[in-house]
Amino acid sequence: MRYPMRKLLPILIAATTMIPLPTLAGGLWINEFGAPAMGRAAAGAQTGSDDASAGLSNPAGMAYASGTQWMASGGLIAPKVEFDVDRGSILNGTEDSGNAGSVVPSGSAFYTREIDDKWHFGTNFYALTGNALDYDSDWAGRYQATEVSLFVLAVQPGVSYQVNDRVSVGASVVLVYTELEMKVAVPNPTTPLIGPDGSAKIEGDDFNVGYALGAVFELSDSTRLGMVYQSELDAEYDGDAELDPAGLDVGIETELPLAAIFRLGLSHEFDDQLTGHMTLGWDDWSTLDSVNLSTQSNSAVLDRNWDDTYHFSLGASYRIDDSWQWQAGIAYDTSPVDADDRTADLPIDRQVRYAFGVTHTRPDGVEISGSFVYADLGDAEIDALGYEGEYSSNEVIFTSVSFNWRM
C-alpha cells in the first residue's frame, strides 16, 4: 500500500506532534555539565569561581580564575520515567508506559588562561549521548512517542575583561551541534482499530551559533553579583522521515526556537568558611508557541502553547579546611506547559532539584569534585486525544566527578 504525498504530512503530524528539543530529559536547559557548582544546584554560579569552569555559567566569571587551568569531568544521567494511564480509548488502549528512562553518559572539559591582569580566555566543551526516552511499544501514548534518541556536542569559547577592581565583563560564542532520532507508532490507515500499527521515524541534525554576554560586580569585599544573557538558538532540523509499512522515505524540515535565558546570581561570604549563593532566572520558552513542520509539498504549524519559565536556586558552600569543601543547594523551575498541551516526548512539569557536592584539594594542588543531583520533574499530567494520565515516576539523577589542574 502507498500513501499519497499529500497525506504524508498529516500522518506525521498526528503521530509525532513535535521533534524534541536537544536537551536531555525535557524541554528546559540543564545545568548539570560537570562543573563543581553543580553540587549546589548551580546557585550563584554566575558570580564566577577560581577554577577552569568559571566561564561556563558566565563568561565574565573567568576574571576570577587565576593562571592557566584545565578541568575534565565525566558522569551519568539516569532518568526514571513511568506514565500511568487513567483514561484510554479503543484506538490507544490503556497500557502504561513502563520505565522509559535510559542511562546517558555525559562529559565535559573546561580551560581558562589568564592572559594579563585584565584579560582572560577560556573554552567550555560538553557532550551527552544516548536514548533519552524509550517507551513500551504498546503503551497508550505511542502515537506521540515511543523512542527519542539524541546526541549533543557544544563548544563555548569566550573572553573576559576586568574593567576595574569592582567590575568585569565577558562574552562567549555558543556553538551547538545536535543529532536526534524520534520513533512513533502510526495507526494503520486501513484497519486502525485492529492494527497492526505502522511506525514513523524522523532523523535530523543541526548546527547552531549563539552568544552569551555577562558581567560581574563586586558589591563589597565579600559580596559579588553576576548576570548573564544567552541568546535564542533557532534550530532547523533538515532530515529524513521514514514511514512503515508504506515504505516512504522523504525529506522533512522542522524549525525549533530554543529559548533565550537570563540569570542573576549573588554570592556572599559570611566568613572564611561559609558562603551563601542565590540565582534568579528567566527562560523565554513562550518562543516555543508553535513549531513549523514541512515536506517538499506540504507544511503545517503545530501549536505547542509553552509559557516562559522562572528559575530560583539557593545554595551554600562550607570550607572545612584547606583540603575539603562541602556544597549543597536546591533549585526550582516553573512549568512551561499545562496538561492539555503537554506531550510524551517532553514530559516536563515544574522542576525541583536537590544537590550535594564535595571538593578535595590534594597536596599537589589537583582539585577533585564530586556532585550528586536529584531532579523531580513533577507529575506532568497529559490530557490528550485518546489517552489521559500522569507520570508516577518522573525524575532524573545526575552524577559527576571532575578534576581541576592548575598549570
Distance CA 236, CA 322 (A): 49
pLDDT band at 247 (very low <50, low <70, confident <90, very high): low
User: Hey, is 245 helix, strand or coil?
Assistant: coil
Q: What is the CATH number of the domain that holds 366?
A: 2.40.160.60
Residue 119 is predicted with a pLDDT of: 97
pLDDT of the residue at 395: 92
Q: For the segment 116-150, what is each residue's pLDDT rounded down to a tens digit?
A: 999 999 999 988 765 578 899 899 998 888 888 87
pLDDT digits (tens, 9 = 90+) for 48-66: 999 999 999 999 999 999 9
The string of pLDDT tens digits covering residues 274-322 is 999 999 999 998 887 776 666 666 666 677 788 999 999 999 999 999 9
Listed residue (216, 211, 230) closest to 311, CA to CA: 230
Domain housing 311:
5-406
Average pLDDT, the chain: 86
Residues 6+ apart with CB under 8 A from 294: 9, 252, 253, 254, 300
Asked if residue 193 has pLDDT above 70, the reply is no
Cα 283 to the chain's mean position, in Å?
12
The owner of cell 523565554 is 284
pLDDT score, position 16: 46
**Pairwise CA distance, residues 22 & 176, whole Å:** 10
pLDDT at 4 over 80: no
- Whether the predicted pLDDT of 190 surpasses 70: no
Contact 81, 104 (CB under 8 A): no
The whole model's pTM is what?
0.89
- Contact between 139 and 95 (Cβ < 8 Å): yes
| Number of domains the chain contains | 1
